Amino acid sequence: MTAPESPAGREPEDAGEPDRAGGGVANAFGAALGEAARRAGLDPSDGSTAGHAVWRAMGGWRGILESIVPSLAFLVVYTIWQDLLWSLVISVGLAALFTIVRLAMRQAATAAFGGLVAVVAAAALALWTGRAQDNFVWGFVTNAAYGTALLVSALVGWSLIALAVGFVMGEGLAWRRDRRKRRVLFWITIAWAALFYVRLAVQLPLYFAGDVTALAATKLVMGIPLFAPLVAVSWLAVRAVYRRQPQ
């Protein structure tokens, strides 16, 4: 298999040395992405196993509970009572509780705050329209945005994941001069884009059909159960391609 080519059917012209303007922007963006990856515990150079990397990426037990419990509560309450208001109140209340607990324990609450904002925004839309399925619209928007950003970045030769990996591994943009690294990081990025698009492909028909229970259940099934294995595969692929390349 050859390395991915640009949409014009050839390698990017700047695969050797990026131009100063583009390289400067890429350096700054890559550094920011790399720092975010490190804060999330995703540093393939630290010697951790794939299992530890996945556990850190999910935030441990607390991160898993913060990701699952509000959505699970919405599913259970709505399925049993078909009451949109109480389903949203309990879901938002649990998300807020997780954030308060983190603040009380003086722990980083960034992830919990992000989850709370998303839950509140989704609930506000559902209450405004009066349609329970609209509680999932924000998720569709974020999946479409992430999937498109990843796909476009890979196709233009500036994979977002490659930018992050390059700075986490301490080589900046040097991966662009290595055909094998470009190829592996390209396909990792495509795999992540595919995850977001698959979620949309499965969940949007349920949304338009108004099947709220199935939609809520599918969201849970296509969350951590798909996220965790892809983190592990990505981690192992990056470790493999960098292990064979002396630093």
Mean pLDDT to the nearest integer, 189-193? 98
| Residue 52 included in any domain | yes
Residues in CB range of 109: below 8 A, 6 or more apart: 99, 102, 103
**Is 14 among the domain residues?**
no
In angstroms, how far apart are the furthest CA atoms of the chain?
61
Q: Is position 196 within any domain? A: yes
Q: What is the pLDDT of residue 244?
A: 53
In the structure, what pLDDT confidence band is assigned to residue 48 with cuts at 50, 70 and 90?
Answer: confident
Report the pLDDT value the prediction gives residue 246, as an integer from 0 to 100.
Answer: 47
Q: Which long-range contacts does 50-57 make (Cβ < 8 Å, 24+ apart)?
A: 50/232, 50/235, 50/236, 50/239, 51/232, 53/231, 53/232, 53/235, 54/228, 54/231, 54/232, 54/235, 57/227, 57/228, 57/231
> For the chain, what is the mean pLDDT?
85
Q: How confident is the model at residue 101 (pLDDT cuts 50, 70, 90)?
A: confident
Whether residue 11 is contained in a domain is answered as no
Q: Evaluate whether residue 12 is within a structural domain.
A: no
| Domain housing 235 | 20-242
pLDDT (average), residues 198-203: 98
pLDDT at 162 over 90: yes
Return the pLDDT at 110: 67
- 153, HSE (Cβ side, Cα atoms, 13 Å): 26
- 85 domain residue, yes or no: yes
Q: pLDDT tens across 107-144, in order?
A: 666 666 777 888 999 999 999 999 999 999 999 999 99
Q: What is the mean pLDDT of residues 9-17?
A: 41
> 41 pLDDT exceeds 90?
no
Least confident range of 6-20, 58-72, 96-110, 174-188 = 6-20
pLDDT digits (tens, 9 = 90+) for 54-94: 888 888 888 899 889 999 999 999 999 999 999 999 999 99
Q: What is the pLDDT of residue 37?
A: 79
Residue 247 lies in a domain: no
Q: Is the pLDDT of residue 27 over 70?
A: yes
Q: Is 227 inside any structural domain? A: yes
Distance CA 55, CA 220 (A): 18
Number of domains in the chain: 1
